[in-house]
Amino acid sequence: MATTQWDIVGGEYIASAVKATQYPEDTIEEVAFIGRSNVGKSSLLNSLARRKGLARVSSSPGKTQTINFYAFQAKRNEENQPLRHTFYAVDLPGYGFARTSKGNKNEWSAFICKYMENSRDLKLVCLLMDIRHAPMDSDIDCYQWLLALGLPILVILTKSDKLNKSAVISQLALYKKTFGLDDDHILTYTSTAHTNRRDLINRIMTYLEPGKGSAQARE
């Protein structure tokens, strides 16, 4: 495996947006997190940043209706000189919320579509799905839609602590087959125990360009 190891050493809330004019006005690279309501997006962001209250975790689905931007500080120790890179983790509203009316669903799509189309800085979309369930139509629709937009996709199977080892292996195989994914494009995650945290951070960093542009700095 790669010897260069990244970590995330800081995370802070930057802004919430409901329209394009409210997106941060800078050229910082973005990684979006998308998935059904309650899949564990906020918990995953808190786990990555190691800050419990950064993104609001809720047991009742459908709370987050804004696009939330968080600045994450990644750091890699390279000889004596640490390399730092800031990117935005972007928490998108959940889809597939059962109580959402057809009208709301359309509104959601337009809202997210606008973000996906308008952001020049979006480098990766992490699509989260709950490992306990089989892929749902809304997940497959979302995956196809992201593919059609030409966005790089990393699938994260959340809440892997809820299954035993053999069930994790069979669900992982089911997801790989359903979406036609190799091991580089899917991983399991447990936010409560931070399982695979460094693996996920290092994978995310392969989609970004530390050392280029205004977002990097050497100490």
Applying CB under 6 A, which residues contact ligand GDP?
35, 37-43, 57-59, 61, 94, 158-159, 161-162, 190-192
Beta carbon of residue 90, minimum distance to Mg ion (angstroms, whole number): 12
| Residue 72 tokens, joined | 């994450």
Looking at the Cβ atoms of 40 and 135, the one nearer to ligand GDP is 40
Structure tokens at 88: 């935005």
DSSP-assigned letters across all residues of 143-164: HHHHHHTT--EEEEEE-GGGS-
Does 42 bind Mg ion (CB under 5 A)? Our answer is: yes
**For residues 81 and 84, what is the distance between their CA atoms, to the nearest angstrom?**
10
b/e burial code for range 151-173 (CB count within 10 A of at least 16 → b) = bebbbbbbbbeebeeeebeebbe
CA atoms within 13 A on the CB side of 174: 16
Helix H or strand E encompassing 112: helix 102-118
Q: Identify which of residues 66 and 216 has a Cβ nearer to ligand GDP in the complex.
A: 66
Pairing of strands 122-130, 30-35: parallel
Q: Which two tokens stand for residue 137?
A: 């139509």
Residue closer to ligand GDP (CB basis): 53 or 150: 53
Comparing CB distances to ligand GDP, the nearer of 159 and 203 is: 159
CB-CB contact of 48 with 8 (8 Å) = yes
| CB of 41 or CB of 159, closer to Mg ion | 41
Decide: is 100 part of the binding site for Mg ion (CB under 5 A): no
Closest distance to Mg ion from the beta carbon of 181 (Å): 24
Give the Cα separation of 203 and 160 in Å (integer).
Answer: 18
Partner whose footprint covers residue 159, from Mg ion, ligand GDP, none (CB < 5 to 8 Å by kind): ligand GDP
**Cross-strand partners of 34:** 127
Say which entry of ligand GDP, Mg ion, none residue 212 contacts (CB below 5 to 8 A, set by partner kind). Answer: none
Tell me which of ligand GDP, Mg ion, none is bound by residue 191, counting a contact when its beta carbon lies within the kind-specific cut-off of 5 to 8 angstroms. ligand GDP
Q: Which is nearer to ligand GDP, 52 or 177 (CB)?
A: 52
| 64 binds Mg ion, rule: CB under 5 A | yes
Least Cβ distance, residue 39 to ligand GDP (angstroms): 4
Q: Which residues bind Mg ion (CB under 5 A)?
A: 41-42, 64
